[in-house]
Each structure stands twice: as C-alpha cells, then as structure tokens.
Chains A and B, each alone.
Chain A
C-alpha cells in the first residue's frame, strides 16, 4: 500500500485539483467545437486549452502544484529517493523520453525517469508501476505525471478511425457516437509513508492489475475479458458493499462502453455508482488515468474506489484505492 501525499490537475476547466473538482460539481464542460485549430482535419469536438501549451512547462507546473500543500522535511522532488514517472502516449511532439528527462532535470532529480506508454491505460499503469517500485523499496516517493496535448497527428488519426463524435460525447448512452479528445496534465505523488497534509483527506493505492484481451489491436474484447480479469484481481479481499465508486473509462465509443458494461456485470458490479468524466474533460489520453483517479478519490469520503481503463493494443488496467487511511 502506498499513500497519496499530493496531487494536481491542470485542464481547460481550471488550475488545481480543487478547481477542477468544483467545475465538475457545477456541471461545467471543457468541450467545444473546433473547426480551424489544425489544418485539413474535419471540425471536431474536444476540450483544449485556449492557448497552445508547452508540454514540459505544463508538466512542471502540475508537479510543482502537487507539492504546494506538502511542507514535509521527509520529501523532496530533488531527492534520490524520489522517482519521476511520466504517463503519456504522444509526449512532446512525438518525443516521450526527452520531456521526461527535462521535467526531472527541472527539479534537480538525479534518477533517470520512467515513461509509461501503454495507450489509454498509461495513467493507471503508471500508478501501478509507482506502487510496485515503492513497495519493492527502491524509492520512498514517486511523482506520477500524466500529460498529453492534442495535435494534428492525433486528431487526424482518430478521425481516420471514425472514432470521434462531432458533438459532446454521450458515454453509456444508446445514442453515443464516439469519443472527444482532451488536453490536461495531472500529477499524483505517492509515498511509502503516510505524510500527513493539513486539511486534506488521505487516500492510498492498495492494488492494481493489468490484463490484455489477446483479441484485437483496436477493438475491445466483446466479453470484456481483460477488463473483467482486472476487476477480479483488484476486488480480492474486498466486499462489494465497501466500494463507493467505480471510475470507468466511458469513452462513448460503441464498443468500449458495451465492453465495460459486460465486464462490470460479469464482476457483479453493475449496481455500484460509476464516475464517467469524459463529458467534462474529453479523453485526455496519458493524463486520463491520473486525472480521473484524483477526481474519483476526492468524491468518495469513505470506502473503496476502483479506477479502470482500456486501450489500443488490447490492454486493460484497474487500481483499487482506499479513501480513508
């Protein structure tokens, strides 16, 4: 078990986890129609920053923000006991390693950073990697930063896949037409020790699992096999009544939502409240797993939170958080 000792979200909806949480509570959405953001691509609906952001600068700001409330002598971003883990799919203009190195270097961190690039599941997989490295005793703290910015490259590709909805997405609706893309940076700092932060509720990452459907590269398994196996793994030792919330992926593509519904039913979790955040932020890719984990944990005062994701390459991932610790 590792403890969250700080977090941050920067999205078109606001600066900081609290501002983003309040925006969602108020029902605000970052989704807009863009018709001339990128050359050649058809008009698309997405949640984008008003002004183009610098990838590294955005990640640095997010990491910086996550330590603001953390005044603890046992923690330092520059320490050799702290590892930086970047979750991203397309990084800084197709470069993934260099921005991670620049972020770590900005804080004077001596450890070579780790980049997790596991398609849409990256943000959850990065947290699992953090948990394992800390539990193995290799580091005391892990700074998990998730970030992706939208480009002509990404939007054109999703359009060629006919995966984008031209309107705000409708997860789990029969009317759903596809996903919306989004931009964000989010950070969670995990620690082996519960370093108390004044005025903030603590939560912990207890378990995680990754499973492949072994079925198809771009379409999820019809039986939700990988997602189901992830759920069964993270449910071990937990009573269903103790689960407060399941943060689903809910991209609003035809097959993803049907697959998740199947996996949740097979695991007997269909009655448990779900959090679906894509209508507010779009699919923020490498940031999604981190951003959505933070907002789910903030929403539940008592009980377990499950966060699940699925993505290209047939990969599925889930984690279990304990919100009172």
Chain B
C-alpha cells in the first residue's frame, strides 16, 4: 500500500504538472480538492484519465469520483481494490 501511495503521488505530480513538488510535499490524507492541493474540475478529469491509463480503471460517472478523490489514500485504496493492470 505504501509503495502504491508513493507511486501515485509521483503520477499525480507528473499528470497535473506540479512543478517543484515532490511526493513528500503531498499529505497522504489531506483533501485533494478545495483546501489541500486545491485541484479544480479539469484536474479531476485528468485524474479520471490517470486511473484509466495507469490502472485500467474506467470511471464513467464523474460524480463517483468525489468519494474516490478525497485524498491520495482513498484513491490508492480504490485502485488496490479495482485495478485491472
């Protein structure tokens, strides 16, 4: 799990172009949207694509993403349970 979280942080930084940010800068349990990382709606769509590309998870309903994208930890838990690659 810890390995997946670390890998996911790298992928988020890469996909969302967080210049100068390292995995250590992202709090595993902090909210991704609003406070925390302050992601917006385009970032959410990019995370949906990341889940598909890296883990073979297709999220058809963007609203379902809300619970999954609460934090890096909730994302990692969802990936572990649903990944197809």
Q: Which residues does A use to contact B, with CB under 8 Å? A: 160-162, 216-219
Contacts and interface: CB of A to CB of B under 8 A. Distances in A.
B40 A216 contact: yes
Contact of A219 (B41, B48, B62): B41
B45 interface: yes
- Residue of B40, B41, B48 most packed against chain A (CB within 10 A): B41
B40 A161 contact: no
A162 B41 CA distance: 11
12 contacts: A160-B45, A160-B49, A161-B45, A162-B45, A162-B48, A162-B62, A216-B40, A216-B41, A217-B42, A218-B41, A218-B42, A219-B41
A217 B45 CA distance: 14
The contact size tier of chain B is: under 10
Interface string B34-48: 000000111001001
Task: Determine the main DSSP class of B at the interface with A.
Answer: helix
A161 B45 CA distance: 7
A160 B41 CA distance: 12
B51 to A, nearest CB: 13
Nearest to B63: A162
Contacts of A160: 45, 49
Contacts of B40: 216
Contacts of A217: 42
B37 to A, nearest CB: 17
List the 3 closest pairs (A to B, CB-CB), nearest first: A162-B62, A218-B42, A219-B41
B60 to A, nearest CB: 9
A217 B42 CA distance: 9
Contacts of A218: 41-42
Nearest to B46: A160
Given A162-B48, A216-B41, A219-B41, 7 more contacts: A160-B45, A160-B49, A162-B45, A162-B62, A217-B42, A218-B41, A218-B42
Nearest to B61: A162
Nearest to A163: B45
A219 B40 CA distance: 10
A216 B48 CA distance: 20
Nearest to B41: A219
Nearest to B52: A160
Nearest to A161: B45
A129 B49 CA distance: 39
A165 to B, nearest CB: 13
